[in-house]
Amino acid sequence: MRKNKSISVLIQLCKRLLPLAALLSLTGCWDSDEVNSLAIVTSAGIDRTKDGAIELILEIVAPQQQQQQSGTGQSSGQKGGKGTTIVRYAIGDTAADAQGRLQWKLPRTIYWGQLQVLVVGEELARDGFREQLDYLVRVNEIRLRVMPFVTHGKALDFFDSHFLLEQTKAGFLQSEAARVFHKPLTLSRLVQRLSSDEDTAVLPFINIPEDRGDRGGEPYIKGYAVFNQGRMVGTLTGNSFLAAKWATNQLKNDVETVNVGNESPARVTYTTLAAKSRLIPIRKNGEWQMNIRIESEINMIQNTSRLPMAEPQNARLLEAAAAEHIREVVTQTVRDTQRMHADIFAFGEAIKRRNPHEWSRLEPQWNRFYPEMDFKVEASVKLRRIGMNSIPLGRQHKERTKP
């Protein structure tokens, strides 16, 4: 080694100082994001204005202590100082453009990482919002876990509506979706469906009560918005919504009522404990036919008929009635979607899985083929529980044993 003392001393000194140099790299100055310099977005809404521009609405988390003094901003949605978010919106040519304009007005940087919910206004949905979705899947902070919804009327109306049970709109919609669906739909599923061969999708459809008084009630998930070729073509509500949930394995705690027997009070109400549906494509005389096989287990919660369900033959009656009910509503709903030309149950996907070669032949004309397609619904129902009471109330035991 070179015996140069001053240099080796210098090198020794440098070595000692090296750990300190490592500290410099800890600052991470370029991409540093302090929490109190961010506007954390929890839910976003996009909508179309009358002249075709895009309106972007953001719900931003507001720190608690500021909220208590400042009250509500010009478009903030909460009342009574309970909420912890504020709502801001801007209008631009595209969603990204609107975001840029919104950023001008906000003193903090918009942070998308906590986005949980996306609300699309009905008008934009009918016009096609795929182009605006592009922005959301492109931003590197947004996860594909975001839950998309379509709202009745304008998206801003949803953000203006008030509800007291949840603190944020995002929290409200999340818990609503978790209540209604078995496995809530996410952006990932939506973009998969939109880029699939059938190009159809369903999104939860939120209803906003017209009456905004205190008794007007909260917004709730009313049904499905049906999309075909990227545009919303209709909705499935009421029984159709239930049927669509049956067929897509999304059923959760739904209450239904059927008539059992012929005597006058004959209504029996039950909830569904478990349901499983399968699509089985078969070929019949060279044409494809779809069998929708639904199996479910139900729990009777009210019995207004005179028939004690503890008796197996009566239970069979209820099961048959429930199966018939399912068959009816599902058939009707599939007919509805055929009328909308929207293959929301992924019949095409089922055929593709069964016979990929055949599908490549069928695919180009699928849009014409689907509305004409034959299908059959097979439902089988098992009565699992009848609650805490064995015979209908008010019907005495002796009456039952009378000849």
> Applying CB under 8 A, which of residues 52, 213, 286, 356 lies at the interface with another protein?
356
Rg of the chain over Cα atoms, rounded to whole angstroms, equals 29
Q: Considering beta carbons, is residue 21 or 388 the nearer one to another protein?
A: 21
What are the structure tokens assigned to 144, written together? Answer: 């594909």
Q: Is 31 in the site for another protein (CB under 8 A)?
A: yes
Q: Considering beta carbons, is residue 114 or 229 the nearer one to another protein?
A: 114
Q: Considering beta carbons, is residue 71 or 113 the nearer one to another protein?
A: 113
Strand 147-151 and strand 85-92: pairing? unpaired
300 DSSP assignment: E
Q: Is 143 in the site for another protein (CB under 8 A)?
A: yes
Lay out the site mask for another protein across 41-80 (x = CB under 8 A, - = otherwise): ----------------------------------------
> For residues 119 and 44, is the Cβ–Cβ distance under 8 A?
yes
Residues 6+ apart with CB under 8 A from 80: 164
Angle between helices 130-138 and 187-194 (to 10 degrees): 130
Q: Considering beta carbons, is residue 129 or 270 the nearer one to another protein?
A: 129
User: How far apart, in Å, are the Cα atoms of 75 and each of 87, 89, 209?
Assistant: 6, 8, 19
Positions in 80-119 near another protein (CB under 8 A): 113-114
Q: Is 353 in the site for another protein (CB under 8 A)?
A: yes
Q: Considering beta carbons, is residue 190 or 373 the nearer one to another protein?
A: 190
> Applying CB under 8 A, which of residues 140, 262, 313, 365 lies at the interface with another protein?
140
Q: Considering beta carbons, is residue 79 or 145 the nearer one to another protein?
A: 145
Q: Considering beta carbons, is residue 286 or 356 the nearer one to another protein?
A: 356
> Applying CB under 8 A, which of residues 37, 192, 264, 390 lies at the interface with another protein?
192
146 DSSP assignment: P
Find the shortest distance in angstroms from Cβ 293 to another protein. Answer: 15
Q: What is the DSSP string of 197-266?
A: SS-EEEEEEEE--S--STTS---EEEEEEEEETTEEEEEEETHHHHHHHHHTT---S-EEEEE-SSSSS-
Find the shortest distance in angstroms from Cβ 143 to another protein. Answer: 4
Taking the C-alpha atoms of residue 148 and residue 134, their distance in angstroms, rounded to an integer, is 14
Element (H, E) at 5: helix 5-24
> Applying CB under 8 A, which of residues 2, 5, 368, 398 lies at the interface with another protein?
2
User: How far apart, in Å, are the Cα atoms of 281 and each of 204, 359, 361?
Assistant: 27, 12, 16
Count residues near another protein (CB under 8 A). Answer: 25
Find the shortest distance in angstroms from Cβ 192 to another protein. Answer: 5
> For residues 305 and 265, is the Cβ–Cβ distance under 8 A?
yes
> Applying CB under 8 A, which of residues 30, 165, 210, 393 lies at the interface with another protein?
30
Per CB under 8 A, the segment of 188-196, 204-212, 226-234, 299-307 that binds another protein is: 188-196
What are the structure tokens assigned to 314, written together? Answer: 């009566």
What are the structure tokens assigned to 127, written together? Answer: 């016009």
Find the shortest distance in angstroms from Cβ 396 to another protein. Answer: 49
Find the shortest distance in angstroms from Cβ 24 to another protein. Answer: 11
* Interface positions with another protein (CB under 8 A): 1-2, 4, 7, 11, 25, 28, 30-31, 113-114, 140, 143-145, 188, 191-192, 195-196, 352-354, 356, 360
